[in-house]
Amino acid sequence: MPLTNEQVRRLARLSRLAMTDAAIDTTRTRLDGILALIARMQAVDTSGIAPMSHPQELATRLRTDEVTESDQRTAFQAIAPQAEAGLYLVPKVIE
Amino acid sequence: MSRADWEVVIGLEVHAQLNTEAKIFSGASTAFGASPNVQASAVDVALPGVLPVLNRGAVERAIRLGLALDAHIAPKSVFARKNYFYPDLPKGYQISQFELPVVQGGTINIQVGEGAAAYEKTIHLTRAHLEEDAGKSLHEDFHGMSGIDLNRAGTPLLEIVSEPDMSSSAEAVAYARALHALVRWIDICDGNMQEGSFRCDANVSVRKKGATVLGTRREIKNLNSFRFLQQAIDFEIGWQIETIEDGGAIVQATVLFDPDTGETRMMRSKEDAHDYRYFPDPDLLPLEIDPAWIARVATELPELPAAMKTRFIGDFGLSAYDASTLTASREVADYFQGTVAAAGKAQAKLCANWVMGELAARLNKAELDITNTPVSPAQLGGLVARIADNTLSNAIARKVFDALWNHEGVDADDIIGKQNLKQLTDSGAIEALVDEVLAANPKSVEEFRSGKEKAFNALVGQVMKASRGKASPAQVNDILRRKLADDR
Amino acid sequence: MTAAPFIDAPVSALRRALDDKKISSVELVTLFLDRIAALDTSINAFITVDRDGALAAARAADARIAAGTAGPLTGIPLGHKDVFCTEGMLTTCGSKMLANFVSPYDAHVVSLLKAAGAVSLGKTNMDEFAMGSSTESSHFGPTRNPWASDHVPGGSSGGSAAAVAARLAPIATGTDTGGSVRQPASFCGITGIKPTYGLVSRYGLIAYASSLDQGGAFGASAEDCALLLSAMTGFDRRDSTSLERPVEDYAAALHAPLADAAKPLAGLTIGLPKEFFAAGMSDEIRAATAAALDQYRKLGAVTREISLPNANLAIPAYYVIAPAEASSNLSRFDGVRYGHRAATYADLDDMYCKSRSEGFGAEVQRRILVGTYVLSHGYYDAYYLQAQKLRRLIAEDFRRAFTECDLIAGPTSPVTAWALGAMRDDPVQMYLADIYTTPVNLAGLPGISHPAGFDAAGLPIGLQLIGNYFAESRLLTATHHFQQATDWHLRQPALLTDAQK
């Protein structure tokens, strides 16, 4: 089923991607093409098949509870768009 | 309609920070209070290319909680990504558990109210799952911007979700307190609410009595004290009932409690409909917990409050209420057991009275926690022993307690010796005092004989005063009655 | 000293030359740096060339060689796909989002190769965030195929493949999520291997699709790949999906004694999935594949038809799972802690949206939107979960197949390198070209692509071999014996330096 412009806007909103009115038609057309390709899956009966989320179906490894990291704030904040007083700065957060 | 026509349904989601050394998916320290972002490792800052590895200590604490709640500990549980954008969430998703949580089900017994009005209730748990905490947004003004501190990001959390089993703010608070005591009891969380180690979200709905479907709920986020929990729920209940009675409808929402106004308000940032797009985190394989691990953790658990309560009732002959009160926290229980150890098991009831009575009152007045009490369990136990063996009357015992509180001696015996407070039990000496008092108070003797029982008490008081409080009240009573009868 | 013998030499020969002091690492590295300077303006295989760092590393390597502590790769130049984080150097992932990102740490693969004494020449071009099959979506412009400069080198590791094909580096690292090592290897006429998922640590590999991403190796031959792959593999406690297995010496295994030197592959059964040989591939590729299989039979291998009945579902399943994981993996690029932040914005949300829309190219944005869609409420079961179930069916197909054969063979791609821009307006057409490579990633199996001929336009054709889990050595050995008997892998594109033009 083809997407509506409203759906595309909502996907863009959830993805935090700007979506101009000019871009929306092209985007929708492209996405429809991809979704049509994907839709070929729907023909397969997979009842009773367990989903496989990982190629290695093992248990996760655990780390020992110990502190192994030291302060790297200076190095990490050297590449930050905006930092001050050890904090990353962002436009005002509203709760 | 009145409030009594309404039924309240409350479920709680508690976020308990686990007291591990390192974070749940990184080797950064979890210590509170560090300078901003110095405990934010590459994984916590979510640099490109970094990966999570699960901390065994966090899993072990989840197992402890599962055992303490008598819950099912899932042999296989799965970490999922909860996707949303927020500046304190560096990856743009939170690693949490969704479909298969590590702890499933479980119960906790709570005691609501005090004294004669107290009642017990069993609260059912839905689940408890492991997840990572977010960082913090600091709203001080940095040129109109917010500052982000990621030290807290990645701190392990257990989100403990109850069934909607509570029907008042008092029950919700009792549940939160019981859970708070339990996580500290089993040493998985420091319980420091001011530092955010134990945070409550309350889901509140109301419905008319007799209604079969639940009302629409609103979720009050981030309540970090029991008082705010109570206030927020009470306000919310009132607001919901009023809204419906005024013909309005409750819309599902997330709200914040403002302690200054005592009111709840909608979160502005949550207006946007969410779609968290949970899916299994491909960076982490399923968590498997084998029975041997659970068995080992079980052997390392301390005696749990429920078992201890049963023991207090059975071994010490305490009432259920007393046993509940004394097992309300590990600290109180430890204190009580220390007192009994010093006083002797036979004096457990007397110990209970002193712990729950004089000690609790004094601590409360001094705004002290039992861990900071000036009177040690051994000191109080020694004091109780001296009451039991008649060395001290209750009245003098309180003096000795005061003296212990003020560090006037190393123990009760020391203070009794130094201040010469030993109870006077020599019947000859008491008789002499009684004789003196009878001779000096003919009027009271006359009144007693004319049937005024009150006069007897006055005479007892005079004898006690003459002994400077040290005479055994029981013996004074006996001797005085005998003398008054003899003289007739 | 003439450059040619060193530029064209296999790594094993470079090793001998370095050890015998015929050339120093500094000299060798300088030869390649100079060649990059001369040729890469027209190929654009490198995003960053680290001349100073390379020469410093070469000096250190020379000291090791002099001290007699050199390993197989000490002093050997290589290129790193720009998806691997390199400390103190730009790590762009082919994106404007990370155009200014200097990584504060090294990826595990980078650390391993540094420790081995290999000399990084720089970072190679790639499709943005490894999303693509042509290296055209790079923010730094497309890489050109050394065999035909108006054609794509394949992708997403097109920069690494083109660099090795043009001998701008003897070997290079890559990553393969749906074919991103094997397909560009095939387009560029070189050898490329993607190992079993979990053999190469993903720590420091900027994630595209975490359950599919796997580091891999490019070289002119199986032997060169074997040397590089051995140095890239190994358990890493920082990656929960890294496998705890002893590191294998794949190169040594190539030279194991043979019972019958004329039939080095005797006893090897190669399965030919009938689904891979159905319609859809060009006649030239069909012919080249058939000829290569004849060669394998001559070497003693037996071929038999097998079936991978669900392989045709790999493309749709892959284009659900990979975008789903990508949509989440790329959420961290939000303009807060590193990377691109829009210059102006109204508020926090506007900052997010503008930074991401400016920072990500069209294909990346498309995949994020598709991933968001297939995970969203109401669509999860029909798309994401269904794809995960198909993934199991596909893995089961392979499991069954490997009870009947040791390796599986077929073309790497149904097409040879296409002209630059040919697929620009038709992403779906480009996705369909991943038909033979994506099933391998979904199952987590190892696969290799090696040169097997040319089409009429002179563009290389690759043959893909797929192995069972941990069959890297078998893949490399089979390819090695094929390459001992053929010379496709020795053919080189005619390249003109700027001066020659």
Q: Is the N-terminal amide bond of C149 cis, ω within 30° of 0?
A: no
* Count of domains observed in chain A: 1
Range of the domain at A15: 5-43
What are the distances in angstroms from CA C354 to CA A31, A95, B149, C287, C359? Answer: 21, 21, 23, 50, 8
**Is residue C180 annotated as part of the catalytic site, yes or no?**
yes
Report the percentage of chain B scoring pLDDT > 90.
74
Close Cβ partners of B230 (under 8 Å, ≥ 6 residues apart): B169, B170, B172, B173
Q: Which of C180, C221, C242, C473 is catalytic?
A: C180
Chosen from A4, A21, A30 to mutate, greatest number of chain C CBs within 10 A: A30
Q: Which amino acid is at C494?
A: A
CA distance B202 to B276: 20
With cut-offs at 50, 70 and 90, classify the pLDDT of residue B471.
confident
* B143 plus B81 within the same structural domain: yes
Q: Among the three residues B419, B450, B465, which one is the final residue of a domain in this structure?
A: B419
Whether B142 and B290 map to the same domain: the answer is yes
**A63 close to C (CB below 8 A):** yes
SS3 (DSSP) at C232: helix
Report the alpha-carbon distance of residue C32 to residue C3 in Å, rounded.
9
ipTM for the whole complex:
0.97
Mean pLDDT, chain B, integer? 93
Spatial distance between the Cα atoms of C375 and C321, rounded to a whole number of angstroms: 9
The H-or-E segment that residue C217 falls in is: strand C215-219
Which residues lie across from B200 on neighbouring strands?
B14, B223
Number of neighbouring beta carbons within 10 Å of residue C261: 9
The position carrying tokens 């954008």 is: B85
Q: Is residue B435 part of a domain?
A: yes
Residues B354 and B381 in one domain: yes
Q: Are residues B74 and B176 in the same domain?
A: yes
**Residue-wise DSSP of C33-101:** HHHHHHHHHHH--EEEE-HHHHHHHHHHHHHHHHHT---TTTT-EEEEETTB--TTSB--TT-GGGTT-
Q: Cα separation of C467 and B122, whole Å? A: 57
Compute the Cα dihedral for C450, C454, C455, C458 and give only its sign.
Answer: positive
- Whether A35 maps to a domain, the answer reads yes
Tokens representing C446 are 């190892």
Q: Residue A15 falls within a domain, yes or no?
A: yes
Q: What is the mean pLDDT of chain A?
A: 94
Question: Does B348 share its domain with B473?
Answer: no
Collect all residues of chain A within an 8 Å Cβ-Cβ radius of residue C340.
81
pLDDT tens for chain C, 501 residues long, are 466 789 999 999 999 999 999 999 999 999 999 999 999 999 999 999 999 999 999 999 999 999 999 999 999 999 999 999 999 999 999 999 999 999 999 999 999 999 999 999 999 999 999 999 999 999 999 999 999 999 999 999 999 999 999 999 999 999 999 999 999 999 999 999 999 999 999 999 999 999 999 999 999 999 999 999 999 999 999 999 999 999 999 999 999 999 999 999 999 999 999 999 987 889 999 999 999 999 999 999 999 999 999 999 999 999 999 999 999 999 999 999 999 999 999 999 999 999 999 999 999 999 999 999 999 999 999 999 999 999 999 999 999 999 999 999 999 999 999 999 999 888 899 999 999 999 999 999 999 999 999 999 999 999 999 999 999 999 999 999 999 999 999 999 997 655 555
Residue B292: pLDDT band (50, 70, 90) is very high
Report pTM. 0.92
Predicted confidence (pLDDT) per residue in A29-67, tens digit: 999 999 999 999 999 999 999 999 999 889 999 999 999
pLDDT at C3: 66
CB < 8 Å to C372, chain B: 277
Cβ atoms of C311 and C397 closer than 8 Å: yes
In a domain, B381, yes or no: yes
Q: Measured between CB atoms, which of C84, C352, C372 is closest to B277?
A: C372
Q: Scanning the structure block, which residue is given the tokens 């090696």? A: C450
Distance from CA of C484 to the nearest CA of A (A): 33
Confidence of residue B271 (pLDDT cuts 50, 70, 90): very low
Of B381, B397, B419, which closes a domain?
B419
Give the type of residue at B227: R
Helix (H) or strand (E) holding A91: strand A87-91
C-alpha B29/C-alpha B41 separation (Å) is 9
**In angstroms, what separates the C-alpha of A58 from chain C's closest C-alpha?**
9
Position A68 in a domain: no
pLDDT band at B481 (very low <50, low <70, confident <90, very high): confident
Q: Do B311 and B436 fall into the same domain? A: no
pLDDT tens-digit map of B140-169: 778 889 999 999 999 999 999 999 999 999
Same domain, yes or no: B177 and B279: yes
CATH of the domain at B442: 1.10.10.410
Q: How far is CA C185 from CA B338, C256, C420, C443, in A?
A: 75, 26, 17, 21
Q: How many CB atoms lie within 10 A of CB B57?
A: 22
d(CA A25, CA B155): 43
Residue C96: name the closest of C363, C315, C323, C448 by CA: C363
Q: Is residue B57 part of a domain?
A: yes
Q: What is the structure's pLDDT at C11?
A: 98
Asked if B159 and B129 touch (Cβ cutoff 8 Å), the reply is yes
Range of the domain at B464: 427-487
Query: Amino acid identity of B246?
Result: D
Would residue A9 count as lying in a domain? yes
Chains in touch with A (≥3 Cβ pairs < 8 A)? B, C
Closest by Cα among C468, B89, B289 to A60? B289
Is residue A34 domain-resident?
A: yes
Is C298 part of the annotated catalytic residue set?
Answer: no
Print the SS3 string covering C125-175: CCCHHHCCCCCCCCCCCCCCECCECCECCCCCCHHHHHHHHCCCCCEEEEE
Task: Look at residue A31 and tell me if it is in a domain.
Answer: yes
Do residues B105 and B76 share a domain? yes
C4-253: CATH number? 3.90.1300.10
Give the pLDDT score at B1: 58
Quick one: average pLDDT of B188-210?
A: 96
Q: Which residues from chain B sit within 8 angstroms of residue A13, using beta carbons?
A: 272
Which one of C25, C103, C138, C156 is the catalytic residue? Answer: C156
Q: What digits encode the pLDDT tens for the residues B86-109? A: 999 999 999 999 999 999 999 999
Which of A3, A28, A32, A41 to mutate to probe the C interface, most C CBs <10 Å? A41
Please measure the distance between the N-terminal and C-terminal CA atoms of chain C and give it in whole angstroms: 24
Clarify whether residues B281 and B385 are in a common domain. Answer: no
**B168 part of contact set with chain A, CB < 8 Å:** no
Nearest to C203, CA basis, from C248, C173, C241: C241
- Over its C-alpha atoms, chain A yields an Rg (Å, rounded) of 22
How sure is the predictor about B269, in pLDDT bands with cuts at 50, 70 and 90?
A: low
CB contact A52 to B (< 8 Å) = no
Confidence band (pLDDT; 50, 70, 90) for B258? Answer: very high
Whether A69 is covered by a domain: the verdict is no
The C-alpha atoms of residue C209 and residue C368 are separated, in whole angstroms, by 11
- Asked if residue A79 belongs to a domain, the reply is no
Alpha-carbon gap, residue B63 to B69, rounded angstroms: 10
Together in a domain, B38 and B162: yes
Q: Does B360 lie in the same domain as B290?
A: no
Cα–Cα dist C384/B416, whole Å: 78
Report the gap between the CA of A57 and the closest CA in chain C (Å). Answer: 10
Q: Which two tokens stand for residue A25?
A: 């038609």
- Shared-domain flag, residues B328 and B440: no
